[in-house]
Amino acid sequence: MTPDIPPAQIRTAAVAGCLLAAITLMATIDGGVRLGLATLVGGLAGFSLYHAAFGFTAGWRRFIRERRSGGLRMQLVLIAMTTVIAIPLIHYGDLFGVRAGGFVFPFGLAVIAGSFMFGLGMQLGGGCGSGTLFTVGGGSTRMVITLAFFILGGLLATYNFDAWQALPKLPGISLSATPAGPLGGIVLTLALLGAVFVTVRRAELVRHGDLDNGRAMGSVWHGPWSLWAGAIGLTLVGGLTLIVLGRPWGITSGLTLWGAQIANLVGVPIADWPYWHYAMGQVEASIFAGGTSVMNLGLIVGACLAAALAGRFAPKLNLSAVDVLTAMAGGLLMGYGARIAFGCNIGALLGGIASGSLHGWGWFVFAFLGSLVGVRLRERLGMDPPRVAPVPSPVLGAQS
């Protein structure tokens, strides 16, 4: 059944649709058909994220505070499904005309520090990399502040990026680089994901005696979507990104590039920073000439379209001082942390683990630890209500 959408929301949806078409056209002009397609893939990401409310931040926070694991479990399912697609494409895509590489980066002190910063920042800021973009598209004025400082944080990290990368680290290690090859990498990755899945599921059952699997599926166009539908949509986004751009889905490098482009326009001498020595061509190019950049733009507009079709695009300006300050701090921590840790929840966690990279697992661990601290800070700042003392399940609690 089609909901009764107010005329203002219909107009917003029409504007969002036109914007998506315009960005797609500009991306095609500046970067060819490949970037035009990438814009549409980004639009699908935003549409899926909004309708499924598929946020990594809220899923982690709910597990930490309540031991409800529905969101976290579905994130693990998303990574598993993406792994099954990504590793074969990365290693055997040439057989089908697809040339794709994975995100396999070194793991060391920089990733530990950066991922911890990111986990802390995403709880204060109220969204992760993808969550910040889709909530901005959905009309959140607070998240506009988070996004602005996310961009600034990423730019600041490029100033001393080399110093972070000089810290002790392991080389990039792929789980596919074993005698068992890519198939072994898939099996090992799925086994590790399965172990985490069983652990968090068990924790929820011990606490509550049942599982919360989220809401039921509504309309495809008007929402809401189930978490399963969101995971399937985002798995499709990950696979299409590999095919279209030849690499996993990423977000934060595009935001850092936006910061550099703005800084360059206002006269900041970023050309003197080692990070940008060989990348000034990208900085001086159009915003529509980068794959990650146009996917981010598509994601924001796709979420706006979804919000309007759901009748929920309604920006609000009544922000408290705590809202503003935590958005600023969270954005800075996420932007800086993501850059020195080779990505966010999408590029490092989803893209890294799905590529078979050890650094993706390390990022997961230390970002979660950062989120533990972030959740405690949110409670102290009054951003969340006090937690109720847990009541163990009478059946499973005695077995724990």
pLDDT in tens, 365-394: 999 999 999 999 999 999 998 876 555 545
Contact 29/288 with Cβ under 8 angstroms? yes
Count of CB atoms situated within 10 Å of the CB of 307: 28
At 396, is the pLDDT very low, low, confident or very high (cuts 50, 70, 90)? very low
pLDDT digits (tens, 9 = 90+) for 67-90: 999 999 999 999 999 999 999 999
**Model pLDDT for residues 130-141, shown as the tens digit of each residue:** 999 999 999 999
Residue with tokens 């993808």: 130
Given a contact cutoff of 8 angstroms between Cβ atoms, the answer to whether 99 and 93 are in contact is yes
Check: CB of residue 219 under 8 Å from CB of residue 2.
yes
Amino acid (1-letter code) at residue 358 = L
pLDDT band at 397 (very low <50, low <70, confident <90, very high): very low
The Cα-based distances of 337 to 41, 52, 355 in angstroms read 26, 26, 21
Residue-level pLDDT at 243: 97
Q: Which of 301, 88, 89 is nearest to 184 (CA)?
A: 88
d(CA 29, CA 288): 9
What was the pLDDT predicted at 317? 83
Mean pLDDT across the chain, nearest whole number? 94
- Reported as a single tens digit per residue, the pLDDT across 41-69 is 999 999 999 999 998 999 999 999 999 99
Q: What sign for the dihedral angle of Cα 393, 394, 395, 399?
A: positive
CB 31 within 8 A of CB 289: yes
Q: Compute the average pLDDT of residues 23-48.
A: 97
H/E segment holding residue 170 = strand 169-170
Return d(Cα 181, Cα 61) in angstroms, integer.
36
